[in-house]
């Protein structure tokens, strides 16, 4: 499988090079040159397959021959070591819980898959030069990447996060591991962190000194495995006769974009719904037809505090750049912090369900969509464990949240992070360490 840059000014590359580079030399995101729909027999027999087989069939064309089948199956088996429960909340609404992995966030799957792919490539490389994974996080990406790459030979990880804009638990998860994991606290927003990362990738002063790659969802090995969620959820509701809609709380739009790739492979998803917080660039675009990124603002659903979503260009590519095609496949709604808190309280008091702020927005967006599409079966994604957001979850709900042992252990550890404000400081750190 070859990948091309969406800026279309760089040569095509294979899967390994796309993973190692993260971002193309022309600043473009990599995208598969072709997408072959899966056979009808695959979907007919989906209920008979285990998770590893389903995931293997979904991802194999995008990896191609660069990882042999036996090794790719092993990578997938080591990635999918936890469950993705589908919880029935209302007659036509399910919550898909994606937070049962080691760092209690949906990004565990992509981080673990990418780490193992990169580990495979490093093991078989004649050039034993170490790789530096440079990543920006608005919350959960950092902890998932840190855990996924922890002690992976030949890989150093440097995580940039916005000071004061991640929860205490999220910060502890990414600043306390040590070993090959370094956290850098940035005086700024997530967009500032992301801009620094992208700028570093294109800085030729690192040539021959540091081989940089990214583990954000801009990296194909982080982005594409998120397709697995949609196939596994569909397996559970396959016998339902209603059109299936997925509601995805979105920030950088990698997860929902992966769902659209699953749809391209033939998964019969009727429609997608995106829910955002006050960073509502995409809902505004769907309403007005004008795409206008803006500076991000801080909210209680901090993982979605993104003002310029990187993966939206991939979503546009999937829909051939057609605004009308996109509107037929995607609806979007933005919600305030007050509405998010109300939703968390409602889900707990009326449904007995504890949602985190991001899942609550997914629920709100789904309910909004179903007002005009009542015949649909809706699945909203619960992307992180509520315990990671105790500081913003309503007090009436907090007392019912059990703190997992993995979180209790990390809270007692000492934070260790570098502090920077500018790209030049980041560059100096990378060149001198």
Q: Which residues are catalytic?
A: 107
Contact between 381 and 107 (Cβ < 8 Å): no
Backbone Cα Rg of the chain? 20
**What is the DSSP-derived secondary structure letter of residue 166?**
S
Q: Both tokens of residue 131? A: 């790789």
Cβ neighbours around 17 below 10 Å, total: 16
Classify 210 as helix, strand or coil. coil
End-to-end Cα spacing for the chain: 35
User: Cα 76–95–315 angle (5° rounding)?
Assistant: 65
Strand 93-97 and strand 86-90: pairing? antiparallel
Instruction: Write the burial class of residue 219 (CB in 10 Å: 0-12 exposed, 13-18 middle, 19+ buried).
Output: buried
SS3 156: strand
**Residues near 3 by beta carbon (within 8 Å), at least 6 away in sequence:** 12, 13, 14, 15, 18, 30, 31, 32, 33, 220
Residue 133's nearest CA partner among 179, 202, 180 is 180
* Residue 315: other Cβ atoms inside 10 A: 22
401 touches 369 (CB < 8 A)? no
Q: How far is CA 9 from CA 28, 102, 174, 314, in A?
A: 8, 39, 35, 16
Number of separate helices (H) and strands (E) present in the chain: 19, 14
d(CA 333, CA 3): 32
Residue 357 contacts residue 74 (beta carbons within 8 Å): no
Question: Quick count: other Cβ atoms within 10 Å of Cβ 64?
Answer: 14
Give SS3 for 299. Answer: coil
- CB 147: neighbour CB atoms within 10 A? 22
* Sheet order of strands, 30-32 included: 13-14, 2-5, 30-32
**Cβ-contact 139, 170 below 8 angstroms:** yes
């Amino acid at each position: 499988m070859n990948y091309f840059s969406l800026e279309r000014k760089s040569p095509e590359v294979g899967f390994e090079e796309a993973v190692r580079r993260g971002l193309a030399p022309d600043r473009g995101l990599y995208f598969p040159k072709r997408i072959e729909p899966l056979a009808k027999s695959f979907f007919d027999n989906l209920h008979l397959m285990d998770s590893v087989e389903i995931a293997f069939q979904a991802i194999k064309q995008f990896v191609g021959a660069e990882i042999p089948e036996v090794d790719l199956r092993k990578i997938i088996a080591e990635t999918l070591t936890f469950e993705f429960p589908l919880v029935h909340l209302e007659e036509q609404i399910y919550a898909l819980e994606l937070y049962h992995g080691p760092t209690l966030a949906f990004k565990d799957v992509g981080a673990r898959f990418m780490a193992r792919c990169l580990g495979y490539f490093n093991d078989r490389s004649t050039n034993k030069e170490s790789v530096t994974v440079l990543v920006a996080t608005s919350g959960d990406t950092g902890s998932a990447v840190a855990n996924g790459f922890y002690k992976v030979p030949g890989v150093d990880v440097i995580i940039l996060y916005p000071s004061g804009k991640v929860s205490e638990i999220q910060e502890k998860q990414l600043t306390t591991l040590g070993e090959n994991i370094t956290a850098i606290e940035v005086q700024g927003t997530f967009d500032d962190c992301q801009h620094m990362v992208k700028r570093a990738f294109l800085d030729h002063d690192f040539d021959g000194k540091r081989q940089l790659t990214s583990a954000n969802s801009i990296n194909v090995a982080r982005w594409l495995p998120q397709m697995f969620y949609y196939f596994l959820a569909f397996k559970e509701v396959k016998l339902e006769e209603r059109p299936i809609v997925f509601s995805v709380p979105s920030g950088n739009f990698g997860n929902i974009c992966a769902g659209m790739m699953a749809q391209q492979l033939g998964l019969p998803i009727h429609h997608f719904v995106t829910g955002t917080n006050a960073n509502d660039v995409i809902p505004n675009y769907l309403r007005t037809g004008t795409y206008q990124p803006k500076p991000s603002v801080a909210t209680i659903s901090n993982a979605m505090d993104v003002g310029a979503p990187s993966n939206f260009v991939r979503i546009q590519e999937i829909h051939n750049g057609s605004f009308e095609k996109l509107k037929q496949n995607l609806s979007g709604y933005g919600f305030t912090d007050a509405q998010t808190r109300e939703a968390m309280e409602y889900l707990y008091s009326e449904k007995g369900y504890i949602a985190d702020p991001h899942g609550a927005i997914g629920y709100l967006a789904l309910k909004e969509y179903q007002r005009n599409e009542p015949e649909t079966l809706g699945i909203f994604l619960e992307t992180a464990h509520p315990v990671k957001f105790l500081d913003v979850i309503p007090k009436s709900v907090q007392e019912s949240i059990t703190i997992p042992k993995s979180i209790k252990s990390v809270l007692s550890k000492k934070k260790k992070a570098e502090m920077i404000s500018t790209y030049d400081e980041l560059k100096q750190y990378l060149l001198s360490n």
